[in-house]
Structure 1
Amino acid sequence: MRRGLRLARLAAALLLSLAASILLAGWLTARPGDPALYPPAPGTATVTVRLVANAWHSGLLLPRDDLARAAAEAGAGALIAVTERFGAYPALEIGWGDAGFYRSVPTLDALDWRLALRALFTPGGRPAVLHVVGVAAEPEAAFPGARIVRLRLSPEGFRRLAAALGRSFALRDGHPVEAGPGLYGPSLFYAAEGRFSLLTVCNHWSAGLLNAAGLPVTPLLDTLPRGLALDLARHAGADAP
């Protein structure tokens, strides 16, 4: 009886210690926002973007015209080329991820744990790609079942997001490098900058772009897509329809 009570107390202490360590790590790695950029001042112009989060991945849904304009203002030549390539669509959904896993696992049903573990734990990380999709439908219709978080950014915040996004494209002779057809709809893969690993997953990339736009983010929580959606809703005043 006493031994069982001691084991229960020890287990409770270990769980409490683990929870405290996770909270401390989350606090230490949190990246503050920029109040000069976000939230936008009341009554000022805004640009609406959306985080699209499914079971294992997140991306950003961005208005194409605003993105093309911001890319031109930021001098992001690669992004200008991409917005022209998808000029027929009012919005672009853009995500970043491991080159092998991203292209081989379009849905959760197709999940290959060997590919997933290789992507997460290869020393030094693995090559990355960007996935760009032209979207004409309303967000909820285009991404059924996804958690969609709507964010209203200031024009300057959106310009900085566009500049950061432009730097994510790998270049060849100054142009973005197409890396094959995409997974669904009118879409393409592009070679990307950065290395994918457990410490830098697709959701960290999405969070990094939003942080560039002035939003506070918590990378530890943002490791999972639903965690990123919760982080935005909790810390950044985001709203989800």
Structure 2
Amino acid sequence: MRRLGRGAAILAVTLTVTLLAAGWLTARPGDPGLYPPAPGEAAVTVRLVAGAWHSGLLLPRDALAAAAAEAGDGALLEVTERFRASPALEIGWGDAGFYRAVPTFQALDWRLALKALFTPGGRSAVLHVVGVAVEPGDVVPGAGIVPLRLSQAGFRRLAAALGRAFTRRDGHPVEAGPGLYGPSLFYEAEGRFSLLAVCNHWNAGLLNAAGLPVTPLLDTLPQGLVLDLAWRAGAHAP
């Protein structure tokens, strides 16, 4: 029994050290020239919306449209025009099959989840865009909302990365059916969904493009991403 206890302790320490090392080795630095905004500099506030298993970004539509127009990104501009009646857009990325079939945590199907996470080579992805005209906390009841003040240059970098995520056909974004709630649509997306590339990693990638430091291993789960932003970027939910 004593040997078994010692072996379990060694295994636990080894796993802990391995995870810490993996987290450190995969951590991405931020860009202090982009984030945080300089004192007195105009900023754009975006919000991370973190639910039980999924997260998305809530972006001001007018600022996103302006960034798309400035960059000449016709596809992204077309998306913002599609939702021009809404002051904000909630945008998420995920597995094409699972995202459509599991709108809430209560509807979670573990068979679909495991298939999405462990299919060799990953699975096709979609973007979910929702026009939001309510308070951020009402977008996903019970979700955690983390406001993030980005520099204007950082927001333009985020918008550029977001634009590249839309699959294009003849220069236009490709609609993939009605969304899950409110005025919303699915769009075909670039990238392959897998255990190493989930929605929370995708959000972290956009925020990293905006200059925030992120830790992909920690960001696998929504609450891990929230903790990462608090730890490395100084961002906290109100």
TM-score range, shorter chain: over 0.9
Give CA-to-partner distance per residue, 1:106-135, whole Å, 9 cap, x none.
Answer: 011111111111111111111100000000
Question: In the TM superposition, what is the alpha-carbon distance from 1:6 to its structure 2 partner?
Answer: 2.8
Q: CA–CA distance in 2 between the matches of 1:28 and 1:76?
A: 34
Report what 1:39 is aligned to. Answer: 36
* Corresponding letter in the other structure for 1:111: L
Equivalent position SS for 1:216: coil
Report what 2:87 is aligned to. Answer: 90
Provide structure 1 residue ranges, at least 5 long, that are not aligned to the other structure: none
Report what 1:129 is aligned to. Answer: 126
Whether 1:214 aligns to 2:211 is: yes
* 1:52-91 map, 5 Å: 52-91=49-88
Question: In the TM superposition, what is the alpha-carbon distance from 1:239 to its structure 2 partner?
Answer: 2.3
Whether 1:149 aligns to 2:146 is: yes
Whether 1:231 aligns to 2:224 is: no
Provide structure 2 residue ranges, at least 5 long, that are not aligned to the other structure: none
Report what 2:182 is aligned to. Answer: 185
Whether 1:110 aligns to 2:107 is: yes
Runs (4+) of structure 1 exceeding 4 A deviation are: none
Q: What TM-score do you get using the length of structure 1 for normalisation? A: 0.97
Q: CA–CA distance in 1 between the matches of 2:227 and 2:181?
A: 26
Q: CA–CA distance in 2 between the matches of 1:74 and 1:5?
A: 65
Question: In the TM superposition, what is the alpha-carbon distance from 1:9 to its structure 2 partner?
Answer: 2.2
Q: CA–CA distance in 2 between the matches of 1:211 and 1:142?
A: 24
Report what 2:47 is aligned to. Answer: 50
Contact preservation (8 Å) 1:149, 1:233? no
* Corresponding letter in the other structure for 2:173: P
Report what 1:101 is aligned to. Answer: 98
Question: In the TM superposition, what is the alpha-carbon distance from 1:28 to its structure 2 partner?
Answer: 0.2
The count of residues paired between Structure 1 and Structure 2 equals 238
Contact preservation (8 Å) 1:34, 1:214? yes
Q: CA–CA distance in 2 between the matches of 1:194 and 1:141?
A: 29
Contact preservation (8 Å) 1:77, 1:166? no
Q: CA–CA distance in 1 between the matches of 2:181 and 2:211?
A: 31
* Corresponding letter in the other structure for 2:194: S
RMSD: 0.8
Equivalent position SS for 1:143: coil
Question: In the TM superposition, what is the alpha-carbon distance from 1:5 to its structure 2 partner?
Answer: 2.7
Q: CA–CA distance in 2 between the matches of 1:116 and 1:239?
A: 29
Give CA-to-partner distance per residue, 1:15-49, whole Å, 9 cap, x none.
Answer: 11111100000000001111100011011100000
- Tell which deviates more after alignment, 71-80 or 103-112: 71-80
Report what 1:21 is aligned to. Answer: 18
Give CA-to-partner distance per residue, 1:60-79, whole Å, 9 cap, x none.
Answer: 00000011011111222111
Equivalent position SS for 2:45: strand
Equivalent position SS for 1:103: helix
Equivalent position SS for 2:165: coil
Whether 1:240 aligns to 2:225 is: no
Percent identity (aligned): 79
* Corresponding letter in the other structure for 1:238: A
